Amino acid sequence: AQRVTQPEKLLSVFKGAPVELKCNYSYSGSPELFWYVQYSRQRLQLLLRHISRESIKGFTADLNKGETSFHLKKPFAQEEDSAMYYCALKSGGSYIPTFGRGTSLIVHP
């Protein structure tokens, strides 16, 4: 069975500090990993996906198959990054993304 673990419920940092939101997964095949974000009073939306290997709003995430991780990173946090972040996993044989429980990121001024 596929599983996504986000160990931190809450991450609190100051503006300008580096941010790393952790995501670990369990799946034996070739996974596809995603980060979704939900800003206050907005709908859940895709932030980035590992296969595109792009930086969105300064965030990057690298798939580490050896450590089965897909941590989300940003070198300098901004107040507008405050949101709920969800890691999601889709296995090759499934059509359905499985979501982690989410991490609330709060960036203080």
Partner 1 sequence: EAGVAQSPRYKIIEKRQSVAFWCNPISGHATLYWYQQILGQGPKLLIQFQNNGVVDDSQLPKDRFSAERLKGVDSTLKIQPAKLEDSAVYLCASSFAPNTGELFFGEGSRLTVL
Parallel, antiparallel or unpaired: strands 32-38 and 45-49: antiparallel
Span 60-99, contacts to partner 1 by CB under 8 A? 86, 88, 90, 95-99
Q: Which is nearer to partner 1, 27 or 86 (CB)?
A: 86
101 binds partner 1 (CB under 8 A): yes
32 contributes a contact to partner 1 by CB under 8 A: yes
Of 34, 35, 59, 70, which one interacts with partner 1 (CB under 8 A)? 34
Task: Please name every residue paired with 19 in a beta bridge, in sequence order, or none if there are none.
Answer: 74
Which residue in 78, 99, 96, 105 sits closest to 36, CA to CA? 99
What's the rounded Cα separation, in Å, for the pair 69 and 35? 12
Residue 64's closest CA among 50, 52, 77, 78? 50
Of 3-11, 12-20, 21-29, 67-75, which segment contacts partner 1 by CB under 8 A?
A: 3-11
| Interface positions with partner 1 (CB under 8 A) | 4, 6, 9, 32, 34, 43-46, 49, 86, 88, 90, 95-102
